[in-house]
Amino acid sequence: MDLKQLEYIMEIAKEKNITHAAEKIFISQSALNQQLLKLEKELGAKLFYRHRNSWELTEIGKIYLENVEKILKIKKETYDRIEDLLEEKKVKLKVGIPQGRWIELFIYIYKKLKEKYPKIQIEPFELSVQELQKKISIGEIDIGIVSLEKNQQTKDKYLILYEEELVLIKVKNFEREKNIKNSVNLFSFKDKEFIFPTKTSTSREIIDKIFKLENINPKIIFETHSMESLVTAVISGIGYGIVPYYYAEKYKEKLKIYKLKSEPRWDIAVSYSKDIYVSKVIKDFIKYAQEFLENFKKSDI
């Protein structure tokens, strides 16, 4: 069995297009097509329905791909176990981080791992939480840092590192304007205009719940994919926002911060596939993430 051939088939299934798949794995389309035809001849069955714009797996193709994923995971686990036993580790670690979030955490872990494993290759991927979860599940990312509620977890493994509060923010109008130490009721702000994260964001589901619990139909002036953009809009004075405390603390000189009586929270966690061998490198990744977040203490507001 040619494992490289299996990886080629995985790429065609992922891209749903043989031309795009060939470009991704840096071989010619004709060479990739020959590999596919050779395999289909060996199996005596077609693996793909060839449509003009999209290639779809046949039923036999779906069965084949399901088992290819298992074989490739076994290959990766085997290599990980061998690397754990080698003194000189030349490991490649694919790490997922949320877009615009936790870059400081990633840099801290990166430096620590490079110090312990000088030959390690660490490849970061900045993606949405949903995209990270998908890539972790299919083995394209080894470990990721995610922010979400427990009900947003997939069947993969999650280790909770930190519980973070979401807070209400507005622009600070006066330099000495103080943050509200006592909790406020969101209903008091029902007539204010808000900037929201987009519906694809894991934070949006939580924020929608907060307003629903208070029986408020929020006045949303616009939505954004970026929490940094949301905070920038609030600082400009055009509206209010609800954000993870990390962002409120980051821009506290320019923001007035309110704790909410409902005390909404979500989890900061590391996630990895339920099927993978947890190597020493991944264990160290988790240890360094815990170290960093122990020092990430929430200030009083």
- Environment class of 77 (CB within 10 Å of its CB; exposed 0-12, middle 13-18, buried 19+): middle
Q: Give the mean model confidence (pLDDT) for residues 139-163.
A: 93
Residue 179 has pLDDT above 80, yes or no: no
Q: Tell me the mean pLDDT in the region 207-222.
A: 95
Contact 144, 273 (CB under 8 A): no
**Helix or strand (DSSP H, E) at 121:** strand 121-127
What CATH number belongs to 163-266?
A: 3.40.190.290
User: β-strands 193-197, 219-224: how paired?
Assistant: parallel
What gap in Å lies between CA 59 and CA 264, rounded to an integer?
Answer: 45
- What's residue 135's pLDDT? 93
pLDDT band at residue 279 using 50, 70 and 90 as cut-offs: confident
Mean pLDDT of 15-44: 89
pLDDT for the residue 59: 93
Is CATH 1.10.10.10 correct for 3-74? yes
What are the residues whose beta carbons fall under 8 Å from the beta carbon of 79, sequence distance 6 or more?
none
Residue spans of the domains in the chain: they are 3-74, 82-161+268-300, 163-266
- pLDDT, residue 53, reads 83
Helix, strand or coil, per DSSP, at residue 42: helix
What are the C-alpha distances in Å from 163 to residues 98, 146, 298? Answer: 16, 12, 10
- Most confident segment among 114-118, 176-180, 236-240: 236-240
Give pLDDT, residue 197. Answer: 95
| Among candidate residues 95, 89, 90, the one with its CA nearest the CA of residue 123 | 95
Nearest-angstrom CA–CA distance, 7 and 25? 9
Q: Does 228 score more than 90 pLDDT?
A: yes
pLDDT at 239: 97
What amino acid is encoded at 15 in this protein?
E
Res. 297: pLDDT tops 60: no
Q: What is the average pLDDT score of the chain?
A: 89
Q: What sign does the dihedral 110-111-112-114 (CA atoms) show?
A: positive
Domain 82-161+268-300 has CATH 3.20.20.150: no
Rounded CA gap, 49 and 59, in Å?
10
Kindly state the tokens that stand for 176.
Answer: 């000495």
- Measured in whole angstroms, the distance separating CA 160 from the mean position of its chain's CA atoms is 14
| Half-sphere exposure in the Cβ direction for 184 (13 Å, CA) | 18
Q: Answer whether 3-74 and 82-161+268-300 agree in fold.
A: no
pLDDT at residue 261 tops 50: yes
**CB-based contacts of 82, cutoff 8 Å, min separation 6:** none
Backbone angles phi, psi at 87, to 5 degrees: -70, -45
By the 8 A CB rule, do 46 and 8 touch? Answer: no
Question: What pLDDT, on the 0 to 100 scale, is given for residue 75?
Answer: 82
Dist CA 161 CA 185 (whole Å): 28
